[in-house]
Amino acid sequence: MDTTRHYKNHFEDYSTSVSHNIIENNCMIHDEFKSLLTLEIKKLMKTLKENEKKWYNNDDYSVYTGSAGIAFTLYYYGKYYNDSAYIKTATDILKKCATNFKSKHKVTFLTGVVGPLALAAVILYSQGKKEEMEQLIFNGVSYSSSNHCQSPLMYSWHDKEYIGGAHGIAGVLYLLLQARHYLTQVQIDNYLKPSLYYLQRLQFSSGNFPSSTGNPSDKLIQWCHGAPGISILFCLAYKVFEDNTFLETAIRCGEVTWERGLLKKGYSICHGVAGNGYTFIYLFQQTKDVKYLYRACKFAEWCFHYGSHQNRCPDRPFSLFEGLAGVIYFLLDVQQPHLAKFPTYDITIEQ
């Protein structure tokens, strides 16, 4: 096995004997493990706060790598532990972000098409402009047709047809599925479902996916590229369409993530162990199989040793998607796995 990108997973897989002090019989996190989570979260939050001056480097106010993302974690922490001081700090940071966005006439949200699509889905709902959502479908159809793609929907970023959750079609489909109530049944049947079936055909025998179309490399196992982000998509696809093959695809993604998901790259939610841990949270939510909750807890346990297992320091070491803030967010989510959601990736749209 090529272990140049990941550490060998020496964690014992789920059994009742190894999970008795991690998971309760009712599929809730055991108080003993929850205490460990709280201890580590507070320790990591202390480190984050001690480096506050470094949050604002390079005038980055984005959710992805800037202070807005850190504010998102502070708010979540404050809500979970009922600490108003963190909520106030988060509010103050976001006010500063809003002021700077206004002065620069520029608003950024994550990277690539996925973030803007998430915002579009929410904004379009509030305005009731179904035709704008249809335009998003039209763009994917137009690109696919013009470039003779095998998938009825396809998008490109930096001249590549990416597959994964951050920059690729998997992320677009995930958000379109959440906004499916604004699409016609014809659009769902002719574009969304066939695009999902197209993605299934790209899955490697290992369970992983290529990072882009035409790329034969089976290397990247991270939320932004590879099985982890795509597993989340197919969990939702199974919930929506009740097609067992979608769940099978998600489960195969989960197996390769368990095997190869302890990354040497680090701990981040975008391309690290914390992001890979969300694979198991979503599989647990969909299947109710306690094995996946146990696996999420073991990836969380790996994060207890933050900084010890990575071959380089992140470019933005305190940010939500590349750094410490995202790890804290993941550990908070593990404490309440039934409600957990990958930050900024899930949208709530009322009907």
Say whether 29 sits in a helix, a strand or coil: strand
Q: Which residue ranges make up the annotated binding site for Zn(2+)?
A: 224, 270-271
Burial class (CB in 10 A: 0-12, 13-18, 19+), 159: exposed
Give the CA distances from residue 186 to residues 124, 131, 172, 271, in Å, rounded to whole numbers and listed in that order: 20, 15, 18, 35
Answer positive or negative: Cα dihedral of 267, 270, 274, 275.
negative
Q: Which residue ranges make up the annotated binding site?
A: 224, 270-271
Q: Retrieve residue 31's tokens.
A: 């108080």
- Residues 6+ positions from 107 with CB-CB distance below 8 Å: 101
For residue 14, give the nearest of 296, 260, 231 by alpha carbon: 296
Q: What are phi and psi of 3, to 5 degrees?
A: -115, 30
Do 60 and 307 contact (CB within 8 A), yes or no?
no
- CA triple 121-318-11, angle to 5 deg: 90
- Residues 6+ positions from 44 with CB-CB distance below 8 Å: 306, 324, 327, 328, 331
Please identify which residue in the block is written with the tokens 């790329």.
Answer: 215
| Residues facing residue 29 across a β-bridge | 23
Question: How far does Cα 307 stand from its chain's mean position?
Answer: 21
42 vs 55: CA distance, rounded Å: 18
